[in-house]
Structures are given as C-alpha cells and as structure tokens.
Structure 1
Amino acid sequence: MSELVRRATDADAAELARMRRLALTCPAVPWSTPRLVPDGPWTEECGQALAAMLTDQAQETFAAFVVDAAPGRVAACAMGFLLPRLPGPGSDKPFNGDISTVATDPGFRRRGYARAVVIALRDWMVERGCKRITLTASSEGEPLYASLGFVADEPRMSWRAE
C-alpha cells in the first residue's frame, strides 16, 4: 500500500482544499447525513495557504500525504503540522504533531487509503523528532486511529475568538 502514497506538492493544493472541505462535512452522529459545509472564498484561501506551506518545505513544519485517484485528483489525504515544544520531564523531543485533516473521497473508501496516508504522516512526524501526535477523530475514524495506537486523551479544551 505504501507505494501508492506520495508526499503532496504545491500542485495538489486545490485538491487538498477540496479534501479539507470534505473532511469538515463528516456528520456529528455516525453514519448519518453529512453536515452542510458551505463552499465559498474560504476554499480558495485554504488552497492558497496550502500551496504556500507546500512550497516552503524548507521549514519542514507541515506535510501532506496523498493517494491519487487519477492525475490531478486525490482519493485520500492526511495533513499535519509539527508544533515546537519545550522540553519537559516526560520528553526532550522538539515537536508535538497535530494531524489536522484526514479525508477519503467517498468513491474510494474501504480500500485502506486513509490508513496508508495516516501511517505515512505519522512516520514523517516521528522521523523529525515527534513523540506525541494528536488529532480530533470523527466517530467513523475512531476505529482506524485506535488500530494505529491512538488513544482518547481527554479533556481537550480550546478557545475560539468570536
């Protein structure tokens, strides 16, 4: 399966933005109707931001891995960030990882593509000195992440400007 996975480039930015929008439609209740996520300027802005991050790979703080459906079309992706951290008693590793988006196009599900791209992204993070990787799982994704060794780590809190 790993031969199908490749690291995304800036040429994949628009497709990655499409996949991010798809990931955001994941229903709150498992296997129910997908949430409505409006299209709009944010998808183009997301594509531009992704292109910039993928172009500036010298920073090595962001990566995306994909499985192609066809030339110019992505079947599955996983995207994530390395977040600098201060050493502490539990780790002297320089980064924590955050997997921000995992998505599989509906026509390509149940083929192991999500597993393959998540493993590639996890391995990339670990190779760069990551000890802890976090993600927010949908109900549908939880079994996959659990099978890869991810465990629930609550409470997770956040603040958002209004």
Structure 2
Amino acid sequence: MSALVRRATVADARELVRMRQLALTCPEVPWSRPRDVPDGPWMEECRKAFASMLRDQDPETFAAFVVDAAPGRVAACAMGFLLPRLPGPGSDKPFNGDISTVATDPEFRRRGYARAVVTALRDWMDLRGCKRVTLASSSEGEPLYVSLGFVIDNPRMSWRPE
C-alpha cells in the first residue's frame, strides 16, 4: 500500500504531541507492556515548541512528515532536526541529522506508514547536506531502520546534569 506523505504544518502541532507521547510509551523490553507516559504540562510546552518550529522554518532545521488518518488526525509521523557540524577532512557537509521521534498509531500499523515517513524525513535531511543521520530505536523498530540502510553503531556516551 502506498502512503500519501506530507510535510507537517503548524496545524499538526497537537497531533505531533499525541504521536510523541505514543512513541515514548514504547516498552523497554520488546513486546512487553507499554510504559506509562502521563499527560501533563509538558504536552502544552511540546505543542508550543512544535508550533514554533513549524512556523519559523528559516533556517530549516526541523521537519516532521506525516501520513493522515483523517482530517486533523495523524496515522504516523517521523520528525527530526538538522544539527550544524564543522567541516572536517572527510566531509564539508554542513549538518548531521537526528531523527527524534517515529510513531504509528496502533490501528494503522503494518501498512508501511512508518517506512514512508522515515524515508521522507531521511531524504529531506540528505537533500540539505547531512553527513550522517542518527536515531535511537526500540528493538521492534530496528528491522525497519536496518532495511532502510541504517547501521547499528557503537553506542555514544552522554551526560545529563543532575
């Protein structure tokens, strides 16, 4: 089945929050019970952030691609950022890409929608000059990403202030 993918607009901000909440419920252990991600003030802050990023796309550093379920309702989405990078001896490309959220509403899974939106986002990033596109995957999503050409790299280290 071919999915009609479109670039998200400001009008999609509330649905993008719903999809982000859905993505965050992905179980830590494959095929186990989904994690609880409660509603809260974070959702309105996230909606405002999405609306701002979708409205102020100059320079374009954020994009979300969606497949619609119905008017005003999203079936699947993929969203991500272009991260500036310094030129180096191996590449003068100006960005790395980070896919931050991929989600498909449960009733629309197994239709190729995630593949369609991730491909659209990856292609958007490639056209803008990404040297590398990264994402964090659940084990359920890993086969999809591998089939799209992503490789499992050594884990990166991170630090978070307390």
Taking structure 2 as the reference length, what is the TM-score of the superposition?
A: 0.97
Q: Which residue of 2 aligns with 1:124?
A: 124
Change (3 A) 1:13 1:44: same
Residues 66-97 of structure 1 show CA distances to partners (whole Å, capped at 9, x for unaligned) of 00000000000000000000011221100000
Kindly indicate whether residue 1 of structure 2 is the aligned counterpart of residue 23 of structure 1: no
Q: Which residue of 2 aligns with 1:156?
A: 156
After superposition, residues 33-112 of structure 1 pair within 5 angstroms as 33-112=33-112
C-alpha distance in 1, partners of 2:113/2:92? 33
Residues 21-72 of structure 1 show CA distances to partners (whole Å, capped at 9, x for unaligned) of 1000000111110001111000111011000000011220000000000000
| Identical residues among aligned pairs (%) | 83
Structure 2, unmatched stretches of 5+, are none
C-alpha distance in 2, partners of 1:64/1:149? 20
C-alpha distance in 1, partners of 2:24/2:150? 21
Aligned length: 162
Question: Does the 8 Å contact 2:3/2:116 carry over to 1?
Answer: no
C-alpha distance in 1, partners of 2:90/2:151? 18
SS of 1:160 mapped into structure 2: coil
Q: What is the CA RMSD across the aligned residues, in angstroms? A: 1.0
Q: Which residue of 1 aligns with 2:144?
A: 144
SS of 1:76 mapped into structure 2: strand
Structure 1, unmatched stretches of 5+, are none
Q: Which residue of 1 aligns with 2:14?
A: 14
C-alpha distance in 2, partners of 1:65/1:96? 18
C-alpha distance in 1, partners of 2:110/2:131? 29
Shift of 1:155: 2.2
